[in-house]
Amino acid sequence: MLDHKKYDRGMLLMADKSRCLRRSEIHEIATTDETNIHTNACIDRIGFLGFVEIETPYVVEVNDLVFVDSKYLGRVAGFNSCHFPNHYNIIIKTEELLTSDDLKINIDSCIQFFPKIDEQEKKSNGVMFSAIIMGFGHSGRDLHANCLKNLGKKKKYQNLSIFAVDPIYQKRLDGIGYASGIEKLKIEDKSNAVVHICTPPNLRESIIEKAVDIGYQKFLIEKPLCSVDSSISDLKKIISNSSLDILVVSNWSCSRLFFYLKERLSQLVNMNHEIYSIKIIQNKSRVSVSLNTDSHSSALDVEFPHMLVLLCLLVNSEMNYKSGKIWDMHYSRNIVENMGGAYVDLESKDGIKIYLESNLMSPIKQRSVELKFTNGYKIQGFFPVDSSDFYSYLYEFDNKNNLKDEKVFYDNTLESFFKRAYDYFFSNGKKPLSDISFHYKVCEMLAKIKHNLMEDN
């Protein structure tokens, strides 16, 4: 970090209008408030910020926008090569002469360059948004970070800065800033920031409480919201004392397949088709993750929250527990209790029979839902199983089991959910179906199922 100013530096700007910044290179950042800036200009007034390490390769050009910790700093004025080949000086045109001390930046601060845009675009698209991923394990790193990067490619969110907060950096990704604690992020406009909670359920209450104390109010929480009754009451206490806006990740709620199912179900019920049963299955192999982490205490915490969300969106009725089973995961001499899988039989108040199953030692991935009607009519839907393919399938069968209709369509459910969530937070978009009150009900249902299952087993 540098915090001194020079008023007679005599720094000559290069004729070149761009420079290639390669990963791991070190370059110096400085500011100037001089107005007569042109090719080969001699800049006397210089404020020094310090040295930066390039994490994401980039071709920086004169007039590119520069942000520090999500706050607009200025535009690239030019480059100086007096220390080359050791490093370049990158000069930023600012309203006043600034140093690192003036900006109150530190060693964890993030400096970002964005392609130059004209003043009209700057007025409409110059808002800086921040996404803070709390916990950079599988969910934060492989799901949230990738979706946020794609969201940042959209013009509306082109100035989206992504930060990962984790005391142990498990894997660095290009284009993402890092900090060991949320208090170390210097984000001034917290109203344009969303905190993504991707930690295990037992850590979430304290993390949310700390973020609220700092001033953050928008949250996206990875499922499940919480897993036990005590957690629900603790979380309610935190939220009741704050004006927070919280959504819980439930990608099926923004799936095109779900919307098709919901619409078709409504049509068939209006045609006097009475629904008889619902079967939801989410199978996959989770052996490696379960052997190496203890982030979940049972198979009910992995896929069941997704299945219960889908069930509650399809059927607005109280569910009664009938029976179920949970089993251990066995691999060689290793046993992980209650992580092999589970199934549950439920029945709605109006008599719909419900079967939920999740086998976490299945060699075949499956995410499916089946609706059967009393007259023999049947609908089957298959969601994308992972990021290798984003297509859903919908099949309808008549009462003689003849295929009546089939549809195949693109259905990137998680990206759709993130887009809807951010549009709701920042663009007056419609609120997703996944708000906090809805997920309280899901968590309470999950807690009852867990209690009954443990008693049965």
Q: What is the CATH number of the domain that holds 196?
A: 3.40.50.720
Tell me if 228 is assigned to some domain: no
Please say which residue of 70, 103, 119 terminates a domain.
Answer: 119
pLDDT digits (tens, 9 = 90+) for 355-406: 999 999 999 999 999 999 999 999 999 999 988 899 999 999 999 999 999 9
In the sheet that 65-68 helps form, which strands lie side by side, from edge to edge? 5-6, 46-53, 26-32, 89-93, 71-80, 65-68, 111-114
Same domain for 140 and 85, yes or no, is no
As a whole number of angstroms, the distance between CA 146 and CA 341 comes to 28
Q: What is the 3-state secondary structure of 265-330?
A: HHHHHHCCCCEEEEEEEEEEECHHHHHHCCCCCCHHHCCHHHHHHHHHHHCCCCEEEEEEEEEEEE
pLDDT digits (tens, 9 = 90+) for 89-108: 999 999 899 999 999 888 88
Query: What pLDDT score was predicted for residue 297?
Result: 83
Report the chain's mean pLDDT, rounded to a whole number: 88
Tell me if 422 is assigned to some domain: no
Single-letter code of the amino acid located at 432: P
Same domain for 388 and 293, yes or no, is yes
Same domain for 201 and 105, yes or no, is no
Q: What is the CATH number of the domain that holds 353?
A: 3.30.360.10
Same domain for 397 and 336, yes or no, is yes
pLDDT digits (tens, 9 = 90+) for 312-355: 999 988 899 999 999 999 988 889 999 999 999 999 998 999 99
Tell me if 423 is assigned to some domain: no
Q: What is the 3-state secondary structure of 199-230?
A: CCHHHHHHHHHHHHHHCCCEEEECCCCCCCHH
Please say which residue of 202, 222, 242 terminates a domain.
Answer: 222
Same domain for 102 and 137, yes or no, is no
Same domain for 284 and 181, yes or no, is no
Same domain for 281 and 197, yes or no, is no
Least confident residue range of 72-86, 104-118, 211-225, 252-266: 104-118
**Partners of residue 19 on adjacent β-strands:** 60
pLDDT digits (tens, 9 = 90+) for 10-21: 899 998 899 999
Same domain for 280 and 345, yes or no, is yes
Closest CA to 16 of 48, 55, 46, 59: 59
Tell me if 99 is assigned to some domain: yes
Closest CA to 28 of 104, 100, 128: 100
User: Domain tally for the chain?
Assistant: 3
Identify the DSSP state of 389.
B
Closest CA to 441 of 278, 353, 311, 265: 311
**Partners of residue 193 on adjacent β-strands:** 130
Query: What pLDDT score was predicted for residue 117?
Result: 54
Please say which residue of 51, 84, 119 terminates a domain.
Answer: 119
**Residue range of the domain that includes 144:** 127-222
Same domain for 288 and 403, yes or no, is yes
Q: What would the two tokens of residue 169 be? A: 């950096």
Cβ contacts of 9 within 8 Å, gap of 6 or more: 43, 44, 45, 46
Tell me if 342 is assigned to some domain: yes
Query: What pLDDT score was predicted for residue 176?
Result: 84
Closest CA to 176 of 192, 165, 190: 165
pLDDT digits (tens, 9 = 90+) for 37-90: 887 789 999 999 999 999 888 899 998 888 887 777 889 999 999 998 899 999
Alpha-carbon distances, residue 225 vs 164, 177, 242, 301 (angstroms): 20, 26, 17, 10
DSSP assignment of 397-440: E-TT--EEEEEEEE--HHHHHHHHHHHHHHS-PPPPS-BHHHHH
pLDDT digits (tens, 9 = 90+) for 275-310: 999 999 999 999 988 888 777 788 998 899 899 999
DSSP, collapsed to helix, strand or coil, labels residue 85 as coil
Tell me if 242 is assigned to some domain: no
As a whole number of angstroms, the distance between CA 41 and CA 37 comes to 6
- Burial status of residue 385 (CB atoms within 10 A of its CB: 0-12, 13-18, 19 or more): middle
pLDDT digits (tens, 9 = 90+) for 152-171: 888 888 888 899 998 876 56
Same domain for 281 and 379, yes or no, is yes
Cβ contacts of 271 within 8 Å, gap of 6 or more: none
Residue 120 has pLDDT above 60, yes or no: no
Alpha-carbon distances, residue 8 vs 15, 70, 318, 453 (angstroms): 21, 31, 76, 76
Same domain for 108 and 48, yes or no, is yes
Instruction: Please give the residue that has the higher pLDDT: either 7 or 179.
Output: 7
Same domain for 197 and 270, yes or no, is no
Tell me if 240 is assigned to some domain: no
As a whole number of angstroms, the distance between CA 183 and CA 209 comes to 12
Tell me if 9 is assigned to some domain: yes
Query: What pLDDT score was predicted for residue 123?
Result: 41
Q: What would the two tokens of residue 53 be? A: 């390490």
Single-letter code of the amino acid located at 105: I
Query: Using a CB cutoff of 8 Å and minimum separation of 24, what contacts does 77-81 make?
Result: 77/13, 77/32, 77/37, 77/43, 78/13, 78/14, 78/17, 78/37, 78/39, 78/41, 79/13, 79/14, 79/16, 79/19, 80/11, 80/12, 80/13, 80/14, 80/43, 81/14
Query: What pLDDT score was predicted for residue 93?
Result: 93
Reported as a pLDDT band with limits 50, 70 and 90, residue 119 is very low
